[in-house]
A and B are shown apart, each in its own frame.
Chain A
């Protein structure tokens, strides 16, 4: 399973509130 990373934090926060799941935010400097 590949991870569906979001890039829009505010949209992800809304999604977290809707689903009850917490955010996992990966602050990184690695190339894609």
Chain B
């Protein structure tokens, strides 16, 4: 399922990886209210879910989701500067994936949370409109445009 060494390396470096098999661990599925596979969830040490995706993805899309999940874990912890850095890394590394416009959106939100400067949101809307105009994330951010 993880044929690329760099994907396995990234998981090993940045996550505590857990496998829950539907036949072997039905209790874990019930505990986290999951009823479909594959479902991938990034959660913090308190068991709070920060990011989720469903279904098989090509390696680049999968890696983009991993990077988003790592950034969302920092965002969920209220570490805005770390979150912004991770979202920007995700957007740059996986710029041609579905994760990229989402990462740009949340990088802008993280910057706004850290700075309380509304300009961060306007700049994010402009960037999404320019780089990912057909994405739903550009639409979501459009209300921030000047």
Partner of A23, one of B1, B9, B16: B16
Residues of A within 8 A of B28 (CB): 9, 27
- Give complex CA distance A18, B12 in Å: 16
CB of B70 within 8 A of CB of A28, answer no
CB of B50 within 8 A of CB of A9, answer no
CB of A22 within 8 A of CB of B70, answer yes
- Tell yes or no: B120 within 8 A of A by CB: no
- Give complex CA distance A16, B47 in Å: 9
Given contacts A13-B47, A22-B73, are A27 and B40 in contact (CB under 8 A)?
yes
Partner of A5, one of B17, B36, B41, B42: B17
Give the number of residues in A that approach B within 8 Å (Cβ atoms).
27
In the complex, how many angstroms separate the beta carbon of B94 from the nearest chain A beta carbon?
Answer: 16
Given contacts A3-B8, A4-B17, A6-B18, are A25 and B43 in contact (CB under 8 A)?
yes
- Tell yes or no: B23 within 8 A of A by CB: yes
CB of B16 within 8 A of CB of A19, answer yes
In the complex, how many angstroms separate the beta carbon of B21 from the nearest chain A beta carbon?
Answer: 6
In the complex, how many angstroms separate the beta carbon of A29 from the nearest chain B beta carbon?
Answer: 4
Q: A13-B46, A29-B23 are in contact. List 7 more A-B contacts (CB 8 A).
A: A2-B8, A3-B11, A15-B16, A16-B43, A23-B16, A27-B29, A27-B36
The 7 closest A-B pairs by CB, nearest first: A17-B45, A16-B45, A24-B15, A22-B73, A29-B37, A27-B39, A5-B19
- What is the interface of chain B, defined by CB distance below 8 A to chain A? 1-2, 5, 8-9, 11-12, 14-25, 28-29, 31-32, 34, 36-47, 50, 66, 69-70, 73
